[in-house]
Amino acid sequence: MSSQIFTIKIGINRCYLIKDEGTILIDAGNPNRIHAFQKSFERLPIHPNEIGLILLTHGDHDHVGSAKELKELTGAKIAIHDHDKLNFEHSLYNFPPGVTTWGRLLHFILNPILKNVFTGIPTEKADIVLDENDYSLIDFGIPGKIIYTPGHTQGSVSVLLETGEAFVGCLAHNNLPFRFRPGLPIFAEDIEKVKESWKPIIQQGAKTIYPAHGNSFSVDIIKKALTE
């Protein structure tokens, strides 16, 4: 039987609950959104204390902002890659630069605003610090693994389930104000690393992509983008 996947919409962010023999949460949204998470949990057949792991796909404010409160609510462990751990544990602001014309313009407009808004995010220590090696999720009751996929940030990671669902954070974008249609991210510290990071995801059987911004889509769209 395939794992159950529940999408939690927090503003323009998509966080994901994956339930199998255990339950994990992917990403923690913007700061001060714990009440939105609680309302979402109430509508789902999952109690917060069932969540054993909160995986942060990277250390940007809109992915780690409510992690401390979520840990307090659920008792779950928090995992983040070593390269982004400092941003999370010390509330350091980070907004990767634009890599498309629209991305550069949007970064120019938003960066000074967000830099003032997202300061002093509640900090917490990571329980699991990831490295460049794959990290099995079997101990958390999920048939899948965490894969190191740098490019958007140096410490970006993704989750790949054995059934082909891939949760990629900002390795792709698929909603406004980012993109009109799914594709590679418009913000990245190194877009060439982004493209390289897609290779193991594709080679290891990804079928459906779940981005942090926008609805899921077929991996075939990324395969085509990588050839353009």
pLDDT (0 to 100) of residue 161: 98
Letter for the amino acid at 142?
I
What does the pLDDT average to over 96-106?
97
Domain that holds residue 125: 4-225
Residues 6+ apart with CB under 8 A from 1: none
**pTM, full prediction:** 0.96
pLDDT in tens, 132-174: 999 999 999 999 999 999 999 999 999 999 999 999 999 999 9
Strand-pairing partners, residue 120, are none
Q: What is the tens place of the pLDDT at every residue in 35-78?
A: 999 999 999 999 999 999 999 999 999 999 999 999 999 999 99
Q: What is the average per-residue pLDDT within 184-188? A: 98
Q: Provide the residue type at 78 as one letter.
A: I
CATH number at residue 30: 3.60.15.10
Amino acid at 148: Y
23 SS3 class: strand
Could you tell me what percent of the chain has a pLDDT over 70?
A: 100
Q: With contact defined as beta carbons under 8 Å apart, do 146 and 159 qualify? A: yes
Q: Is the peptide bond prior to 177 cis by the omega test (within 30 degrees of 0)?
A: yes
DSSP structure class, residue 187: B
* % the chain with pLDDT above 90: 92
Query: Which one has a higher pLDDT value, 92 or 213?
Result: 213
Task: Count up the domains in the chain and report the number.
Answer: 1
The angle that helices 67-74 and 34-42 make with each other, rounded to 10 degrees, is 40
What integer pLDDT is reported at residue 1 of this predicted model?
57
Return the structure tokens found at 68.
């401390």
